[in-house]
Amino acid sequence: MKSYRYLIVGGGLAADAAVMGIRAVDSEGSIAILSEEPHPPYRRPMLSKALWRGTPIDEVWLPTAEAGAEIHTGIQVMRLDLDTKCVQDARGEEWRFEKLLLATGCIPRTLPQAPDGILYFRTLSDYFTLREAITEAEHIGIIGGGYIGSELGASLTINGKRVTMLFPETGICARLLPPPLSDWLNAFYRERGVEVITGVLVQRVSRDNRWQVHLSDGQTLIFDALVAGLGVLPRDELAHQAGLTTPTEFSPPTQTGTPEKKSLDGVRVNRFLQTAHPDVYAAGDVALFPYARLGIETRVEHEDHAIASGFYAGQAMAGEAQPYEHLPMFYSELFDIRYEAVGLIDSQLEVRMEGDLPTEAGVITYHQQGRIVGALSWRNAMPVDDLRELIGHSS
Ligand SMILES: Cc1cc2nc3c(=O)[nH]c(=O)nc-3n(C[C@H](O)[C@H](O)[C@H](O)COP(=O)(O)OP(=O)(O)OC[C@H]3O[C@@H](n4cnc5c(N)ncnc54)[C@H](O)[C@@H]3O)c2cc1C
């Protein structure tokens, strides 16, 4: 049985940042990362943007190993035993720890009863598969008009592919952006050659040498390759199995057919990223943490949070715990439009827009119970730190 001072399950952005956090405090203690992916830690956000716009693949890698962490790829952890402080992988091998970090991220939602081969885009392997597929595929279908669908729609179009996006909402990124913006994005994408089909559900998918997608409005669309971005679910199963979180309730199946967890899912941590067990921490997408400025508990599925919370968790594991009070930001690139956002970005909230949106720069604020809970800068209207300043202020 191998034994480490610091063991990290998951090999993504949070894991890499945790190594840096540990090393900022402890230059000696042994660190191992166990990751089920075949690749060492890499910059996941590049998969849907930069790598399609000329950034060389070499730039995807994170410098985790240089900080003195052992990286074990292709290892899926199946069990966590808190009494003996060890985890067991899929081959039955056990790995002991003094301090453990769960940085297991999220897994994409899938379509029910669909044939194999739909690309639920998340990993570097998915990126390589899509790159390979588009050497032959001419017409690509993208199911989903949210974060991943909108970015891939733009990136594949820039790469000369014929793209059709289809989704149930009325507009692109409609769950984040208010109707005037998301409706405008439909037109903006169409002008660039993307076919945008709104207000449809996928009823059935079949496949012979091409893909047939049967829609709720009676249409059947034919594609050479099919990609889906249907949102993600936290990989909190190890914590559940070890009894670390409160039980997660499931709501009825959504329109995509996948049972949707209620918002309080993930691995619950305190403000030091520590779970109910003092030697087990969680960070990144999977962590359900106290969002101090808003006085809520939430998960955040974005890069800045993965990096900051991973670093804080690493420092805490190494004995220098500081409260995690960072206000995470996220960004996206849709053709030549960039936006950044902080806080709760949900178009169901009361939304106010300032500036000549959408064609010019502007700021969108999101309001709840008389205060600003989210702020979005459209086309570089406001620096991210100024967005952060807005959060929590009265409306
Ligand atoms: C295509 C794409 C583009 C994105 N672009 C942006 C962006 O522009 N801006 C932004 O803010 N955010 C973006 N995100 C989100 C961002 O990448 C995530 O928030 C971030 O990667 C989360 O980091 P993490 O380390 O928590 O989890 P992950 O990066 O998901 O890493 C978790 C790792 O743990 C592994 N794992 C899980 N369970 C086990 C187990 N039991 N045993 C072993 N290994 C396990 C997984 O395989 C994975 O490798 C993007 C996400 C995707 C998919």
Task: Domain 336-390: give its CATH architecture.
Answer: 2-Layer Sandwich (3.30)
Cβ atoms 309, 287 nearer than 8 A: yes
Phi-psi region at 308: left, alpha or beta (left = phi > 0; alpha = psi -120 to 50) = alpha
Amino acid identity of residue 154, one-letter, is A
Binning pLDDT at 50, 70 and 90, where does residue 262 land? very low
Ligand 1 center–CA 232 separation, angstroms: 10
Ligand 1 center–CA 285 separation, angstroms: 7
Amino acid identity of residue 311, one-letter, is F
Which fold does the domain 119-228 belong to in CATH? FAD/NAD(P)-binding domain (3.50.50)
pLDDT at 246: 53
pLDDT higher at 53 or 252: 53
Q: Looking at the chain, which residues constitute the CATH 3.30.390.30 domain(s)?
A: 336-390
Q: Looking at the chain, which residues constitute the CATH 3.50.50.60 domain(s)?
A: 2-107+233-317, 119-228
pLDDT tens column, 327-356: 999 999 899 999 999 999 999 999 999 999
- CATH number of 2-107+233-317, picked from 3.40.640.10, 3.50.50.60, 3.30.360.10, 3.40.50.2300: 3.50.50.60
Residue that has been written with the tokens 């800068």 in this structure? 377
300-330 b/e with 16+ CB inside 10 Å = b? bbbbbbbbbbbbbbbbbbbeebeebebbbbb
pLDDT tens column, 89-124: 999 999 999 999 999 999 999 999 899 999 999 999
Residue 380 reports pLDDT greater than 60: yes
Amino acid identity of residue 362, one-letter, is G
pTM: predicted TM-score of the whole model, two decimal places:
0.94
For residues 236 and 266, what is the distance between their CA atoms, to the nearest angstrom?
A: 5
pLDDT at 255: 37
- Mutational test site, ligand 1, from 7, 8, 13, max ligand atoms within 8 Å of CB: 13
Work out the average pLDDT over 141-164: 96
